[in-house]
Amino acid sequence: MDPLRVALVQHRCGPDPDANLTRSLADIAHAAEQGAQLVLLQELHRGRYFCQQEDTARFDEAEPVPGPTTELLAAAAQRHGIVIVGSVFERRAPGLYHNTAVVLDSDRGLVGVYRKMHIPDDPGYYEKFYFTPGDLGFEPVDTSVGRLGVLVCWDQWFPEAARLMALAGAELLLYPTAIGFEPDDDPAEQARQHQAWMLAQRGHAVCNGLPVLACNRTGFEPDPAAAGRGIRFWGSSFVCGPQGELLGQAPRDEEAVLVVDVDSARTEAVRRIWPFLRDRRIDAYGELTRRFRD
């Protein structure tokens, strides 16, 4: 199998949604010029990360799927002959909204949707106010470049999500992400959080024998409701192979279009020497469906 050239688009987001989307489309074109066949955009790339506060007016920014953003991304996928994975604040019905990843193929348009399953509710990340947990399960999306296991941000901390995508036949795991540093965290804590983020996703690659693509935003975004606070997103978008080996990584504080070649044949080779799926004790895992063993 020929290597698959992938690109991750990491950039800052300003207050103008149309300008942000225009920037994403320009970076998609730049990635395609470099031969990318698959482009992954960051989480909620059309706007600033609005979940720093709870504000009902923000629901006005949501859109249907299919809708304006998917139409523009589909046109870009067709124009460049590539697959694009984007991220949309989805308005499904009045009072029903999702954090939704969308997959656009070159000749078929919108071919798949994944609604974020794990929804955080932490200081600066009040997503439960905005997003209903996904109800589509962990189903890979078939595309012209392979079967994509698309997950979103907070999903990246849950090995069950990565495993279920792998068991359903995903050939790549993709995580559009928005994560960064809290202003009150000291440098040592910031380093621990950043390392944990990297290790968790590289661990998913190792344990499932699959390449992982994680695309994060970068730059500082203020919290409109709390002067002096905000989130400094730590960038660091990366691609790793099926043994967790880093194939490429973007800077923390700079915008970047990271282009990396992924050896699609390595999954088969790695799984032959590390046959984790063979040795799973599926007869002994029933307790995983419990919240906790008291």
| Tens of pLDDT, residues 254-279 | 999 999 999 989 999 999 999 999 99
Distance (Å, whole) CA 202 – CA 258? 17
Question: Is the pLDDT assigned to residue 226 strictly greater than 80?
Answer: no
Half-sphere exposure of residue 253, counting CA atoms within 13 Å on the CB side?
Answer: 3
Per-residue pLDDT band at 95 (split at 50, 70, 90)? very high
Of the candidates 51, 90, 116, 127, the residue annotated as catalytic is: 116
Closest by CA to 41, choosing from 6, 67, 16, is 6
**H/E segment holding residue 78:** helix 68-80
Confidence of residue 228 (pLDDT cuts 50, 70, 90): low
| Catalytic entry in 13, 51, 153, 215 | 153
Residue 211 has pLDDT above 80, yes or no: yes
% of the chain exceeding 90 in pLDDT = 93
Tens of pLDDT along 234-252? 999 999 999 999 999 999 9
Separation between Cα atoms, residue 214 and residue 193, nearest integer Å: 15
User: Which DSSP string do the residues of 170-224 spell out, in sequence order?
Assistant: -SEEEEEE--EE-TT--HHHHHHHHHHHHHHHHHHHHHHT--EEEEE-EEEEE-T
Residue 229's pLDDT is what? 86
Nearest to 269 by CA among 203, 225, 210, 227: 210
Report yes or no: 18 and 190 within 8 Å, Cβ to Cβ.
Answer: no
Q: Delineate the domains of the chain, giving CATH numbers in brackets.
A: 4-289 (3.60.110.10)
Residues facing residue 179 across a β-bridge: none
The predicted pLDDT at position 30 comes to: 98
pLDDT given for residue 225 in this prediction? 79
Residue 116: active-site member: yes
pLDDT in tens, 139-153: 999 999 999 999 999
Task: Count CB neighbours of 36 within 10 A.
Answer: 27
User: Do 43 and 153 form a contact (C-beta atoms < 8 A)?
Assistant: yes
Q: Which residue among 43, 90, 127, 221 is the active-site one?
A: 43
**pLDDT band, very low/low/confident/very high, at 183 (cuts 50, 70, 90):** confident
Which pLDDT tens digit goes with each residue over 99-143? 999 999 999 999 999 999 999 999 899 999 999 999 999 999 999
Assess contact for 209 and 271: CB atoms under 8 A.
Answer: yes
**What length is written for the chain?**
294
| Structure-block tokens of residue 165 | 């995508």
153 an active-site residue? yes
Please give the average per-residue pLDDT across 146-162, as a whole number. 98
Tokens of 206: 């190792």
Q: Is the separation of the CB atoms in 282 and 36 below 8 Å?
A: no
Query: Average pLDDT, stretch 213-230?
Result: 89
| Gap between the Cα atoms of 138 and 165, Å rounded | 6
Strand partners, 107: none
